Each structure stands twice: as C-alpha cells, then as structure tokens.
Structure 1
Amino acid sequence: MARTIFRDKLASGKFFVVPGIQDMIAAVVANKVGFDLVYGTGYWLTASAWGLPDAGIVTYTEMKNRMETLVKTSNAAVIADGDTGYGGLLNVHHTVKGYEAAGVTAIQLEDQEFPKKCGHTPYRRLIPVEEMVEKIKVAADAREDKENFLIIARTDARQSEGFDGAMRRIEAYEKAGADVLFPEALESEEEMAKACSLFGKPMMANMSNGGSSPVPLASVLKEIGYAYAIYPSLTSLAAAKAMETALLDLKEKGIGQPDGLFSFSEFCSLIGFEDVWAFERKWGKDAE
C-alpha cells in the first residue's frame, strides 16, 4: 500500500532530500539516521545484488523482489526506479501493479528503449514521445491508489535532443498525467532553473555523484525551484571507497581493526539480533 508521506511532502512546498539505497545495510543505516523517504535505485540495487551494470539486464521479477525487500526493511516510504516499465504497454501495466503490490509509494518510468541504460552513461536510445505518453497514461490507470501512488516521468532526451527537446517531452508527460517530472542529466544550474520555471508540477533533481549534472548544495537546489532531490549513488560510492581503503590496509599493512569502524554491537541491534536473542531466551534449550 502506498504511503501518504510523499504526496504530503510535495504538497507542503518544502524542499527535501532522498537518499538512494543500494542494499539492506544502507537501509538499516538510513533507518538509524532517520529518513521518511528513500529511493530504490535501479543502478545500485542491481550492482549490489548481482554485480551487473544498469543496462536492462536484470528482470522485472528480480527488481520487484528487491523493492519488496527494501519496503520490508526500511522504515521509510520507498520511491522505486521502474526503468522503462520493462517493455511495452502491457509490461508497464504489469510493472505498476506489481510495484504497488510490493508496497512502494511511487514509481519512476523513463522514455528509453528497452533494454535501458543508466542515465549518466552513453548509448541511450529513446522511444517516440507518443509511446511514452501512452506509457504514462497506462501507468496512471493501472494504479489502485490514484491519490497516493505517484507516477514520476523521466526523460533522457537532453543529450540527444537538446534542452528544448527534453522540455517538449516533459511538457507532453505532464499533460499525460505524470505527478512528478524528471528531466535527467541536465548540464548546468542554469538549465535546472529554466526547467523548474516552465512547469507547474513538482520537479525532481537527480544528484548522481560523478554523473553529467552538477551537484550543488541542497539549499541551491531549493532556490533553483526543485521539489526534492535524490542522491542515488551517495551511499554506494561512500561505502565502496571505505571498503577499498580498509581492504588495502589489510592487504598492505595487516590492519584488521582500523579506526572508524561502525559498532558491531550497534549493527547487530539495527539488523534485528535483539529479537533473535529475545526468542532464544524464551524458547531456547537453556530457557528456564
């Protein structure tokens, strides 16, 4: 069931940030920090689970299962990356139904050909705008909760059709019934501000570290006019760097207990071991 928090936050008009979640370790750490919305990122959930690139290789069923696990693990509502809807109109209908049943609060759909590519990598190919308009209409019709389950429409047209071409697509997607608009990989803060000024519906920013777009401070994004920003790669790249540093120290210096480790006892608590221990106290062989 979709949660109301996403629509409520958009309606408030107050800018907010949403971290990307690549695995369930990141999910429980985000629980600790305290977020009411998280982003189920296709790129990083794919990389963490299967060690594969975000290139349309992972199936709908595999990704739906990952989103369902994230919903169960996270205290926050989940905005889910739905790629292209995994095919044509019937696939979009099935994907929206499945994601909503999995418990996510919003689905993001993009106008690339299937199989898709990451929005900050080359060789992306787009479907005609008319096809994407139909996908948005199908997605909006397929959802059970018309009020709270939101449709995010993304265009990857900036690099192939230019800024104006991307804006024409976004205008068509807005008219088709998208709740949130997402022009991917804009190339400057000036483009971002112009895009936000053109439309009445909420605009989403993708702050992909190392990608095509600049990553200004959240306060700047707020002034530009975005409703919110996702940070899909932040926890993944931070974790990868920390792991590389620790492994190099182990290999080269024999350091197996470096400074700065997350507390093992606290992580046991975050991941649910206290419930396991309570069960053992009640039902274990040594229980009195």
Structure 2
Amino acid sequence: MYLKASDYPSTAPGEVIAALWKRPHILRMPGAHNGMAAMQARGAGFEALYLSGAAMTASMGLPDLGIITVDEVAFFVRQLWRASGLPILVDGDTGYGEALNVMHMVRVFEEAGAAAVQIEDQQLPKKCGHLNDKHLASAEEMAAKVAAARTARRHLRIVARTDAAASEGLDGAIARARLYLDAGADAIFPEALGSRADFVAFAKAVNAPLLANMTEFGRTPEMTAQEFEDLGYKMVIWPVSSLRVANKAQERLYDILRRDGSTAAAQTEMQTRKELYATIGLNGYEELDRTLVLSTLPMVAS
C-alpha cells in the first residue's frame, strides 16, 4: 500500500485522534507491532492504531519491564506512521524517568509522528497490568508526570493509565484518575478491571474519554467493542493480538521446516508474493521511480 502525500492528514496527529474521540461511536485501535501490521490494519479499515510496549519488547525478544528506551520506541512509532498515516496511541510505560524525562519523551514521540501517549502510574521495573505484585508510584508523583507531559506537548494527547484497581480498589483507581485529569490528562485508561460491573462503575465516576483494554488471557472478561461503547468507553485496544497471531504462525512454520526440510506444508497459510507486493505498494514505488528525473550539473565554463 503505497501512501501518497495526500494520504497523510493535513492536521497534527494529536488533533486527529482528539476528533475521533468526540464521535459518538467507540474508536477501535488494534495493536500494530511493525510497519507491515500497520499497513494491514489500515487496509482492514481501522482509523487509529495502538503501539504496545509489550508487543515492542516481545518483538525484540525482551520482557515488558520498562527496559527499552525512548529512541527505541520512536523507531517503532516512525514505522507505523510512515506505513499507515494513521493516528497512533503510543505506550510510554512510566515515562522513562521523572518529569524532565517525560517532557523529553513527549517531544521525541511528537516528532516521530505519534498522536497520543499513554503514561502509567507504576514504578520501575514495571509489569504488564494484568500481572500480580505491581508497585505503584504515589498519585502525586504520577500527577507531576502528567503535568510535565501537558507542559511539553504541542498537539500530543495524554492518556493517563492507572493500575491502582488491583491494590487500592476501584475507589482508589477512581480517585487517582480524577487527580490525573486535574493535572492535565486528556483521557483515562483504567487497567485490568476485572468485571463488567467495575467498568460500569468507573465510567459513571470519571468524566473523561475512557479507554478499555481488551487484551487476551488477562483479568478483563472477554467483551466486544460494542459492549464497551454501551458502557460509556470511547476507545478500545487489542494491544498484543497481532503479535500473538504472528508469533504462533512463525512457531508453526519453524516446526514444519525442521520436520520436513520444506515449507510446502505451510504454504497455504503464507501471504503470497502477489499479496505481499500489493500490501507494501511495490508498484506504487516503481511508478514513482519512473517519474523521477536524474539531476544534472549545470554547464559552466572550464
């Protein structure tokens, strides 16, 4: 899918995603872990993407413990933005440090093409929100990070994630969310709520655009985008789904190749050469190449 200049929005990505939040229907944001996944998501009709820290680190062969850097994440952001032109909500973990580090992160992500960043209220080493024994920063420390992000941003929207429900209960998570909104957050992400009733209660108590995380194999019961919309949520993400499917397919391929010494048994599950070239827009690049004229040096007297 070759993107022309006109395929990218003329307004800043942060403004684009903010406008999508204002629509009556929930914004569906699948996780995309590389440029190819971003292209395929756009091709399927999605209007925005989620870049998961868990997916990024897993694709690098690392655990999701907050050990990658701002520049490593920016590499992924640039891939997704170039490949899709869609607004991207980026997982910023704990902000890569304190207030000044958060401000640096905001500027780097904006320059890379991000539309929004998610910051969570855990301490390092952070964990997947659906695991046990997470250690929280104080609400005041997190609020300071949100305020720093707000100060640094030009258009980037700020999504404050709270992991407090597991250790401080739903009331604690709600209190933190309200504090983060006062500090300048544009939206709230209550992580790892364990029941439909919790999602209902949180939505009734917190007046802001809310994000639901429909990750597989976690604490949240399986729910559809429409169900989250009916409960009052404005965004839903499936953060690691594309990576899970890709990894399982790769694992099967390697087993077949080791067993058979041939990929024949896996070829029906492969993207064909034609499909690959269509997805990456090979013909569009070739057409562009034919329109370019070689530069020549001006004639000057010797």
Q: Same fold by TM-score, threshold 0.5 exceeded?
A: yes
1:226 to 233, 238, 254: 233
Change (3 A) 1:96 1:51: same
1:196 to 182, 187, 203: 203
Equivalent residue number for residue 179 of structure 2? 172
Query: Distance in 2 between the 1:84 and 1:212 partners?
Result: 21
1:267 to 232, 251, 276: 276
Give the deviation of 1:15 after TM superposition. Answer: 1.3
Matches within 5 A, 1:98-113: 98-113=108-123
Unaligned runs of 5+ residues in structure 2 are 1-11, 293-302
2:157 to 150, 166, 169: 150
Give the deviation of 1:4 after TM superposition. Answer: 2.9
Give the deviation of 1:125 after TM superposition. Answer: 1.1
Query: Distance in 1 between the 2:280 and 2:84 partners?
Result: 11
Give the deviation of 1:63 after TM superposition. Answer: 1.1
Alignment-mate amino acid for residue 223 of structure 1: D
- String of CA shifts for 1:125-160, please: whole Å, max 9, x gaps: 111101111111111111113xxx211000111112
Equivalent residue number for residue 162 of structure 1? 169
2:271 aligned counterpart, secondary structure = coil
Equivalent residue number for residue 286 of structure 1? none
Give the deviation of 1:74 after TM superposition. Answer: 1.8
Structure 2 residue 20 is the aligned partner of structure 1 residue 20:
no
Q: Is the 2:27–2:48 contact (alpha carbons within 8 Å) kept by the matching residues of 1?
A: no
2:212 aligned counterpart, secondary structure = strand
Q: Is the 1:86–1:114 contact (alpha carbons within 8 Å) kept by the matching residues of 2?
A: no
Q: Is the 1:84–1:114 contact (alpha carbons within 8 Å) kept by the matching residues of 2?
A: yes
Equivalent residue number for residue 89 of structure 1? 99
- Which is further off, 271-280 or 229-238? 271-280
Query: Distance in 2 between the 1:282 and 1:183 partners?
Result: 50
Work out which structure has the larger RCO, using CA pairs closer than 8 Å and 6 or more positions apart in sequence: 2
Alignment-mate amino acid for residue 182 of structure 2: K
Structure 2 residue 140 is the aligned partner of structure 1 residue 130:
yes
Query: Distance in 2 between the 1:276 and 1:202 partners?
Result: 39
Alignment-mate amino acid for residue 175 of structure 2: R
Change (3 A) 1:282 1:222: closer
Give the deviation of 1:249 after TM superposition. Answer: 3.3
Q: Is the 2:29–2:238 contact (alpha carbons within 8 Å) kept by the matching residues of 1?
A: yes
Alignment-mate amino acid for residue 45 of structure 2: G
1:118 aligned counterpart, secondary structure = coil
Give the deviation of 1:202 after TM superposition. Answer: 0.8
Change (3 A) 1:9 1:277: closer
2:103 aligned counterpart, secondary structure = helix
Alignment coverage as a number of residue pairs: 279
Equivalent residue number for residue 51 of structure 2? 40
- Which is further off, 247-256 or 9-18? 247-256
Q: Is the 1:96–1:139 contact (alpha carbons within 8 Å) kept by the matching residues of 2?
A: yes
1:12 aligned counterpart, secondary structure = coil
Give the deviation of 1:241 after TM superposition. Answer: 2.0
Unaligned runs of 5+ residues in structure 1 are 284-288
Give the deviation of 1:3 after TM superposition. Answer: 4.5
Q: Is the 1:21–1:45 contact (alpha carbons within 8 Å) kept by the matching residues of 2?
A: no
Q: Is the 2:81–2:113 contact (alpha carbons within 8 Å) kept by the matching residues of 1?
A: yes
Q: Is the 1:5–1:36 contact (alpha carbons within 8 Å) kept by the matching residues of 2?
A: no
Identity of aligned residues (%): 36
Larger radius of gyration: 2
Q: Is the 1:86–1:115 contact (alpha carbons within 8 Å) kept by the matching residues of 2?
A: no
1:66 to 68, 72, 76: 76
Alignment-mate amino acid for residue 158 of structure 1: A
Structure 2 residue 219 is the aligned partner of structure 1 residue 212:
yes
CA RMSD of aligned residues (A): 1.9
Q: Is the 2:94–2:120 contact (alpha carbons within 8 Å) kept by the matching residues of 1?
A: yes
Change (3 A) 1:15 1:276: closer
